[in-house]
Amino acid sequence: MGKLTPQKFIVEQFQDQASWIGPMFSSLNAFINDVVIAFNNNLNIADNLYQEIKEIKFKNSSVNFPLKFRTKYSVYPKGMIPIFLFNETLSANSGQVPVLTWSYSNGEISISSLTGLTADSTYTIRLLVING
């Protein structure tokens, strides 16, 4: 689908109703403009989707688990996907894909384990928490 390019409503096309239709067109055109901007690559997770991205820095050691964080939604997440992993110990992006074991209770996610990572290395991980 191509970019949206709507035509604006103009009062001149409705001379008989100009006194009341002008303010309505102004609001309608502003709304349509906002929708077009949003659909032309201006939607983002933080403001528009029922999801959130969480970033956590941790040392991969059994004494540091569970990792806990609050979510901004009060519903049980549909899932959680690691979308970025940086090994702070090696100062390098990690190609490893960890498997998460997690649970949810009272607005808090608890990650009990992340398998597939190097023990005792420090990581920064970004997680996409999918709701709804």
Residues 75-131 pLDDT 10s: 999 999 999 999 999 999 988 889 999 999 999 999 999 999 999 999 999 999 998
The answer to whether residue 46 scores a pLDDT higher than 80 is no
Res. 45 pLDDT band, cuts 50 70 90: confident
CA dist 115 and 78 (Å) reads 20
Query: What pLDDT score was predicted for residue 37?
Result: 81
Residues 3-28 pLDDT 10s: 667 778 888 888 888 788 888 888 88
Among left, alpha and beta (phi > 0; psi -120 to 50; other), residue 103 is beta
User: Bridge partners of 122?
Assistant: 59
Q: Please compute the mean of the pLDDT values over residues 53-61 and round it to a whole number.
A: 96
Tokens 């906002």 locate to 34
Q: Please compute the mean of the pLDDT values over residues 28-39 and round it to a whole number.
A: 85
pTM (predicted TM-score): 0.71
The answer to whether residue 34 scores a pLDDT higher than 90 is no
Q: In the numeric block, which tokens belong to residue 68?
A: 């806990």
